[in-house]
Structure 1
């Protein structure tokens, strides 16, 4: 199999794994393809971000800010099939149970959602919806466009998942997603970071940001991603002895929320 073919399959696998876009192409979900698919995680984020950008532009013509935000959030969840939200809930159920490491991992494997998972999901969705509502309101007068915020948030949250896969060992190396992605190298994650940075800078330039704004915004998004994702990775690794597919999804949700929050805070302070 040629290297070009493997990378094309890897890009398709990233989209099929992380999104619900109908891509009628069969690719082998095997280690050689999946380990390289990490490089293309930002592409999946960009595809989701573009759809959200279109929704954020169209919805205010039909609905007020809050209903628009709720619909946009539903689209956001639907585009990933609820994959990351499920990981957020399972991680909350397991880690916040304060049981032994083995018991926490067992709880996370259970398909049923417990009280902590529900509470965590409700708080997450309320926070995201409220942030989106402000960004879609007439009060929002930031220099950076909502299109840029949505697209960059979706890109960097998925990029961090690749970094976490490469940077921390799996808690269950012979089971689930940890097994499929075992062997992801740091070079795959670094390639993903470079691609994410390229997409982010291109987005800001297209949306009219100047060099100072581009530098500040790009640096801020990277720092927030590192602090949020890195902090969660260290904490979860300490609690679970490694990371799991659920924790990758949880970190995606946390980074998205952190980036939206940082954008709102930054705009309000500088506005």
Structure 2
């Protein structure tokens, strides 16, 4: 019983740690911080995404009572950038700057650590945000896309963490706490959670799991293969970029459906 109590307390702390790591939402629980707990918290990334998606959908619903859908989407996206601190978008910009401007692994990693944004990162951000807004406008059930995209997209970095190695020196990286290899058991838990949510939403979008699986699989394979070729593994910024890519891929599939 004592061991179980410790385990449940650790899981509770891991959830709040994940929420605090990915968002600006205050952690309302006492955290016995450790690198192991931070790594353990990764399993809750899709759950944090679902909570964010619920906020986005509720905000869109309220705004849509008075404004047209495009304005609502842009305001929701602005809220997303604020509440997450543009966490994943920053990773996208840094990753594209590094891969576009560096000709060696060392140069790419050095550029990726630079806080300044370059041409490649700027273009990537503009195109990603513009494409996201355009795809959301083109989807019939915008609220559903707002709910599921943040949840499903956060499964991709877990797959990359499980399948690949971390290439940046963890002692000098802001992503040190999540740099350890992600366990297979927790990956299965996160995967079944995302697929379970798709079943809950069956009434509004039957077979929602199909576009989710397509988006996650395609980005994991393509982005992961590119990272392996150009960096030899993943970085924290590359994981953030994978979230943005998966969101766009999922919205694209949903727009075609």
TM-score normalised to structure 1 length: 0.87
Q: What are the Cα deviations for residues 41-89 of structure 1, in whole angstroms up to 9, with x where unaligned?
A: 1110101100111122122222222222211111222221110000000
Q: Give the root-mean-square deviation of aligned CA atoms.
A: 1.7
Instruction: State the secondary structure of the residue aligned to 1:171.
Output: coil
Corresponding residue for residue 225 of structure 1: 216
Instruction: Give structure 2 stretches of 5+ with no counterpart.
Output: none
Corresponding residue for residue 168 of structure 1: 164
Alignment of 1:1-271 (within 5 A): 2-135=6-139, 140=140, 145-174=141-170, 175-181=172-178, 182-202=180-200, 204-205=201-202, 208-209=203-204, 214=206, 216-266=207-257
Moved more, 49-58 or 14-23: 14-23
Shift of 1:134: 2.9
Structure 2 CA distance for aligned equivalents of residues 69 and 152 of structure 1? 15
Q: What are the Cα deviations for residues 1-52 of structure 1, in whole angstroms up to 9, with x where unaligned?
A: 7111111111111111112222233424422212221211111010110011
Structure 2 CA distance for aligned equivalents of residues 179 and 69 of structure 1? 34
Instruction: Give structure 1 stretches of 5+ with no counterpart.
Output: 267-271
Shift of 1:239: 0.6
Number of residue pairs the alignment of both structures matches? 251
Instruction: State the secondary structure of the residue aligned to 2:64.
Output: helix
Q: Quick check: 1:52–1:151 contact (8 Å CA) kept in 2?
A: yes
Instruction: State the secondary structure of the residue aligned to 2:75.
Output: helix
Structure 1 CA distance for aligned equivalents of residues 27 and 176 of structure 2? 24
Instruction: State the secondary structure of the residue aligned to 1:96.
Output: helix
Structure 2 CA distance for aligned equivalents of residues 162 and 177 of structure 1? 17
Instruction: State the secondary structure of the residue aligned to 1:61.
Output: coil
